[in-house]
């Protein structure tokens, strides 16, 4: 139902209006136009219980109030709340003097009502492209939309600000307004601050549909910074650092130490390990170094080399210098002996490992090869070795009870007596040996009676119990190793490789262990490569296949006494 009527201004109140800003100058011009020419178009209202509510035409109603008119021409439509809101949106959006952000808010509200972009575009009389551009402006925070509504910034400013993260938009808006920056100035600034997606080292699948991908913005807005850039530097850096951490985590299973290279870092001195040349350390030492805690890799965080990995790195400059010096001296000795041998009649050239002299000739003595040392082990390996040696020592004491009293006396004289186990263990040991149940804190008479039954067994049992407990945790590893030596424990029969042990090692340490014990020579180079050209878990499975054969009776250096 619709009718045209002349209504008292006092009976009309504002309704739902997508227009939020009424420019004072424009309102003054409208009021003067109506005063001179009269109202050219009625407003649209709907009836309410106590009067009427504006659907469209609030500016005209305000202008009539400004010229102190008492009545206004109006089209009266009897519609529901939802219909009134849709009509208000459509009526106002179709007027040319709405700001782009007011159009955006109106279009977004209409989309919430109708749930279909095509239907919204039809209602507004817009092409889908314009609807998408206006909806994209909803990415602007309220402060930016308000600034555009109030004509404090231009549409180009808002379009550029829309691509920034919400927490950066207000900062950008303040900078634009304080410095009175042109759209071109803002664009140049954003280009300089954006991140080039072509330089990203992380997976960009999520970036394809991200609102901060400049490629999406260039398809929507006239003002944009072009394709191939990310305007959310915080997200870009977070993804970069997460990717670098994934690289580091993966490398940590392969090598023993991983460090990031960054500007201003003066504590890390990475040295590339090489086998030959003036900085070479030789094949044997190169292999042994793979078992050292200072053997590893670097991951670059430097511009232009972001994510670049360098392997076969030594982080112990002093040790590296010693190894280079030893190998270079060895090469010099070989060269000097070869030179002497060449001038000595009937003497063949100096031979090194793997070479042989012709039969019937004298052979010069080869230069002694430099000693090969793996260096310091990582803490996890040392902790494992500590537990294993204590366990082996404790077991040896249990198998040699006749030595218990000697070990107990020795431990007391070395200052470890304070760690002798508590009352409950001692009582249990005595009760087990004598068959007499002793109560806690027995009298001297009870203890003496128990000891007189089997004094040797009691003394040995007590000593073994005390020694066993001390071996488990209390005394230093040096003393533990002395016990192992004293009891003539053959570590090669007491320990064997296990998945638990191998899992502690990196791939580099696994290779060092396998090479040290001649696995390559035993199974052949092709079979050896087949074992190690896999992920760490598969390498461990491959090595465990030789646990009871090739590796039987072989120790890791960390366990050697």
What residues act catalytically? 58
CA atoms within 13 A on the CB side of 61: 23
Q: Which helix (H) or strand (E) holds 93?
A: helix 81-93
484: burial class by Cβ within 10 Å (0-12, 13-18, 19+)?
Answer: buried
Decide if 313 contacts 298 (C-beta within 8 A).
Answer: yes
Q: In degrees, to the nearest 5, what angle opens at C-alpha 181 toward C-alphas 175 and 186?
A: 80
114: burial class by Cβ within 10 Å (0-12, 13-18, 19+)?
Answer: middle
Q: How far apart are CA 71 and CA 34, in angstroms?
A: 13
Collect all residues with Cβ–Cβ distance below 8 Å to 436 and sequence separation of at least 6.
430, 449, 450, 453
Q: How far apart are CA 393 and CA 333, in angstroms?
A: 44
Decide if 539 contacts 366 (C-beta within 8 A).
Answer: no
444: burial class by Cβ within 10 Å (0-12, 13-18, 19+)?
Answer: exposed
In Å, how far are 5, 8, 57, 97 from 67, measured between CA atoms?
Answer: 20, 14, 16, 21
């Amino acid at each position: 139902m619709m009718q045209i009527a002349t209504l008292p201004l006092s009976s009309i109140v504002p309704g739902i209006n997508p227009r939020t800003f009424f420019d004072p100058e424009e309102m003054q011009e409208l009021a003067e136009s109506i005063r001179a020419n009269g109202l050219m178009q009625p407003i649209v209202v709907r009836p309410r219980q106590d009067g009427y509510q504006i659907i469209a035409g609030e500016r005209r109603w305000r202008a009539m109030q400004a010229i102190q008119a008492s009545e206004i021409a109006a089209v009266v439509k009897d519609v529901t709340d939802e219909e009134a809101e849709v009509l208000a949106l459509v009526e106002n959006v179709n007027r040319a003097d709405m700001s782009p952000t007011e159009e955006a808010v109106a279009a977004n509200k209409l989309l919430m009502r109708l749930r279909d972009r095509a239907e919204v575009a039809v209602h507004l009389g817009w092409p889908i492209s314009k609807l998408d551009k206006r909806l994209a402006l909803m990415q602007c925070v309220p402060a930016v939309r308000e600034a555009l509504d109030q004509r404090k910034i231009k549409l180009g400013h808002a379009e550029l600000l829309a691509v920034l993260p919400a927490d950066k938009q207000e900062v950008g808006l303040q900078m634009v307004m304080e410095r009175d920056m042109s759209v071109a100035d803002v664009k140049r600034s954003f280009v300089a601050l954006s991140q080039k997606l072509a330089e990203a080292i992380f997976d960009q699948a999520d970036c394809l549909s991200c609102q901060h991908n400049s490629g999406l913005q260039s398809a929507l807005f006239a003002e944009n910074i072009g394709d191939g850039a990310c305007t959310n530097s915080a997200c870009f850096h977070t993804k970069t650092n997460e990717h670098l951490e994934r690289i580091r985590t993966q490398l940590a299973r392969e090598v023993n130490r991983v460090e990031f290279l960054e500007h201003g870092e003066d504590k890390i001195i990475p040295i590339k390990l090489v086998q030959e040349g003036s900085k070479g350390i030789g094949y044997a030492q190169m292999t042994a170094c793979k078992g050292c805690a200072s053997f590893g890799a670097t991951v670059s965080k430097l511009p232009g080399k972001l994510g670049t990995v360098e392997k076969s790195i030594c982080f112990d400059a002093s040790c590296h210098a010693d190894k280079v010096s030893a190998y270079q001296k060895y090469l010099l000795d070989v060269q000097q002996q070869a030179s002497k041998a060449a001038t000595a009649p009937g003497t063949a050239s100096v031979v090194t490992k793997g070479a042989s002299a012709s039969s019937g000739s004298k052979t010069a003595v080869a230069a002694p090869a430099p000693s090969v040392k793996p260096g310091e082990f990582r803490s996890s390996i040392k902790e494992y070795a500590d537990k294993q040696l204590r366990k082996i020592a404790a077991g040896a004491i249990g198998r040699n009870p006749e030595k218990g009293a000697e070990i107990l006396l020795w431990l007391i004289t070395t200052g470890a007596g304070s760690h002798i186990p508590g009352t409950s263990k001692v009582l249990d040991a005595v009760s087990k040996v004598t068959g007499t149940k002793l109560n806690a804190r027995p009298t001297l008479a009870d203890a003496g009676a128990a000891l007189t039954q089997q004094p040797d067994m009691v003394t040995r049992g007590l000593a073994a119990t005390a020694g066993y407990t001390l071996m488990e945790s209390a005394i230093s590893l040096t003393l533990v190793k002395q016990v192992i030596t004293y009891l003539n424990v053959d570590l090669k029969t007491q320990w064997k490789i296990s998945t638990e042990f191998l899992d502690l090692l990196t791939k580099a340490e696994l290779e060092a262990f396998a090479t040290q014990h001649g696995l390559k020579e035993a199974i052949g180079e092709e079979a050896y490569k087949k074992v190690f050209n896999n992920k760490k878990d598969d390498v461990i499975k491959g090595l465990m296949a030789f646990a009871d054969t090739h590796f039987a009776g072989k120790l890791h250096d960390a366990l050697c006494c």
